[in-house]
Chain A
Amino acid sequence: MNQRVIKESKGDRLFNIVNAILLTLALIAVAYPLIYVFSASFSSTSAVLSGRVWLWPVEPSLDGYEAIFQNGNVVRGFLNTVMYTALGTLLNVALTIMAAYPLSRRDFRGRAGFMLLFVFTMMFNGGLIPNYLLVKELNMLDTIWAMIVPTALSVWNVIIMRTYFQTTIPYEMLEAAQLDGCNDFRFLTRIVLPLSGPILAVIALFYAVGHWNQYFNAMIYLKNPDLYPLQLILRDILVQNEVSVDMLGDVKTAAARQGLRELLKYSLIVVTSLPLLIVYPFVQKFFVKGVMIGSVKG
């Protein structure tokens, strides 16, 4: 049926216009702060400080970025974060598969019971202090394990992946493989996983974002500054305004120092957020599917 047969009424045309205007407003409201930060980070200190930056970079300069890369803390934090994200995501994805695949199998005995055991933890958790004491008892305080192990598995992601396995891998396939003498492990690695590319990408991204943005666990579990992830260093600079003088190189006057301090913040925001913002459009098309599948009941 072609809808064009019926001509759009006046009301509908008005609706379209209003809708387009509202969407444009939403677009601007979200995009403007991001553009502003980006432009400010590439502007000169005086332009930022005197408020001459509105949309595009004014008097382009790389001073802010230079200051960042001269700073040992930031560079070390960046490397730590990359390490935590890589190791953590690897462990996350492996454990999620190990939990989701058996739970997706009809012939896995005790499935309902295990599922309940997992899902219950989504509604009730142990709370801050008992978790802290556990990590302490396991002697993980102040080690990289504290950044990786306590968040090794997300039940939500297990459910998403389990549902994906259930809906895309037909049970008959397993039966056929078993007839051919294929064992469970082989079936998983040779057939199930190669067919699950999209969901693996989405889950890996979800976990990676979590690790990349993590600061709270680092704050309570780590004391050694050498282990600090980028977010924690960022917090000191952005939120607590602790920019040490040696970070600003050989800037002499107080005014210039103040300017560079502000500029540095914008550049830091860009450096920290850009990696994820670059990756996500590539995985975006899988999102709707992933989120939808996970939200199906049961």
Chain B
Amino acid sequence: MYALFALPLLYIVLFKYVPMFGNVIAFKQFTISKGFFGSPWVGFGQFERFFNSYEFWRLLRNTLSISFYMLIAGFPFPILLAVGLHYARSERFKKTVQMVTYAPYFISLVVLVGLLLQFLDPRTGVVNQILGLFGVEPINFMAEASLFQSIYVWSHIWQNVGFSCIIFLAALSGIDPSLHEAAVIDGASKARRIWHIDIPGIMPIAIIMLILNTGSVMETGFEKILLMQNSLNLRTSEVIDTYVYKVGLVSQALNFSYATAIGLFKAVIGFILLVVVNASAKKLGQESLW
């Protein structure tokens, strides 16, 4: 059994823990030629440079606002959909809605962003054509910095609502049916039963999901943002992750240490958030992760 376990263990150590320790270069002035051990230490120099840079506040603000926008806007929809499906009268209708709503989950980010660009195109896009019927001038959506975050968040909801609702659907079917029977006999309406039985019933799961999502608040959908970014919406679309990517892997003067320091800063904030949210959930007497 240990022989079986050796390979996965090796993988975890090599590909998960080695990069974690690789973060040490955030405290160094790393250059490829000098290598990991040969590069000189600079302490918190990289971090100071980042905090003092004019990019800092903009990146932090964009990262946090996209994440919290997503957290708040995305939270109710899977629950609403799950409750709606749970009370759907026709089994076939329910199955159809379910199957269709989670189809987009399987679409790749590249295709999703491609779809967005096609639909929102100022000349040929179907959205502008519909708006045109109401006499609205074509809008160049992707060039409007003020619209970027909304497009990002709502397309994310479109893609994921069906899949995220599975877990709530399962929780709903796990609720003790005798509660509902009793409520029906007492003359409770469906709306009342949802409010007093179903919602409290799925609350623990909802809280856990919220904690998990908060933990990844700093992990904004970096790959998707990168795809959606263009020079016109950069003002609101540049987040810490995309900046790390640019500084570390694409810019003219690659700066591995600086990029690593920024990435580490982000990871630490995310970790602190997770711990804080979990602790407060515990204090409120709700479920917690640990």
Contact = CB atoms under 8 A, between A and B. Distances in A.
B71 interface: no
A273 B106 contact: yes
Interface string A187-212: 01000000000000000000001001
B111 A105 contact: no
A34 interface: yes
B133 to A, nearest CB: 10
A271 B79 CA distance: 33
Interface in A38-68: 48-49, 51
Interface stretch (B47-55, B231-239, B260-268): B260-268
A102 B1 contact: yes
B167 interface: yes
Given A15-B191, A130-B22, A23 B223 contact: no
A11 B192 CA distance: 10
A145 interface: no
A287 B1 contact: no
A20 interface: yes
B101 A114 contact: no
Contacts of A273: 106-108, 111
B20 A134 contact: no
Given A29-B158, A130-B22, A108 B1 contact: yes
A280 B100 CA distance: 11
Contact of B100 (A31, A103, A129, A134): A31
Given A239-B227, A280-B103, A127 B19 contact: yes
Given A1-B181, A153-B12, A291 B110 contact: no
Contacts of B117: 238-239
A121 B117 CA distance: 35
A276 B12 contact: no
A30 B162 contact: yes
Contact of B19 (A26, A29, A134): A134
Interface string A96-133: 10110111010010000010011001011111111111
A27 B100 contact: yes
Nearest to A234: B110
Interface string B77-93: 00011001101110001
A29 B80 CA distance: 15
B189 A127 contact: no
Contacts of B19: 125-127, 130-131, 133-134
A30 B158 contact: yes
Contacts of A108: 1, 5
A272 B111 contact: yes
A69 interface: no
Contact of B23 (A127, A262, A288): A127
Contacts of B75: none
A209 B106 CA distance: 7
A237 B151 CA distance: 21
B267 to A, nearest CB: 6
Contacts of B256: 129, 133
Contacts of B85: 23
Contacts of A117: 12
Contacts of B104: 30, 34
Contacts of B4: 98, 101-102, 184-185, 188
Interface string A262-298: 1001101100110011001100100110011001010
Contacts of B260: 127, 129-130
A186 interface: no
Interface of A: 1, 3, 6, 9, 11-12, 15-16, 19-20, 22-23, 26-27, 29-31, 33-34, 36-37, 48-49, 51, 95-96, 98-99, 101-103, 105, 108, 114, 117-118, 121, 123-134, 149-150, 152-153, 155, 158, 184-185, 188, 209, 212-213, 215-216, 220, 231, 234-235, 238-239, 262, 265-266, 268-269, 272-273, 276-277, 280-281, 284, 287-288, 291-292, 295, 297
28 contacts: A15-B190, A15-B191, A16-B190, A22-B80, A30-B101, A30-B103, A30-B162, A31-B100, A36-B126, A48-B124, A102-B2, A114-B9, A117-B12, A124-B20, A128-B241, A128-B244, A128-B259, A130-B18, A131-B15, A132-B249, A133-B19, A134-B14, A153-B8, A158-B8, A185-B4, A216-B223, A262-B118, A276-B107
Interface of B: 1-2, 4-5, 7-9, 11-12, 14-20, 22-23, 25, 80-81, 84-85, 87-89, 93, 96-97, 99-101, 103-104, 106-111, 113-115, 117-119, 124, 126, 129, 158, 161-162, 166-167, 169-170, 181, 184-185, 187, 189-191, 205, 208, 215, 223, 226-227, 241, 244-245, 248-249, 256, 259-260, 263-264, 267, 271, 274, 289
Given A26-B84, A295-B208, 20 more contacts: A16-B87, A16-B190, A23-B88, A26-B101, A26-B161, A27-B96, A108-B5, A118-B12, A123-B271, A124-B20, A124-B267, A124-B271, A125-B16, A126-B19, A129-B249, A134-B14, A220-B249, A234-B110, A272-B111, A291-B170
* Top-6 shortest CB links A-B: A126-B19, A130-B22, A238-B114, A213-B108, A99-B8, A127-B263
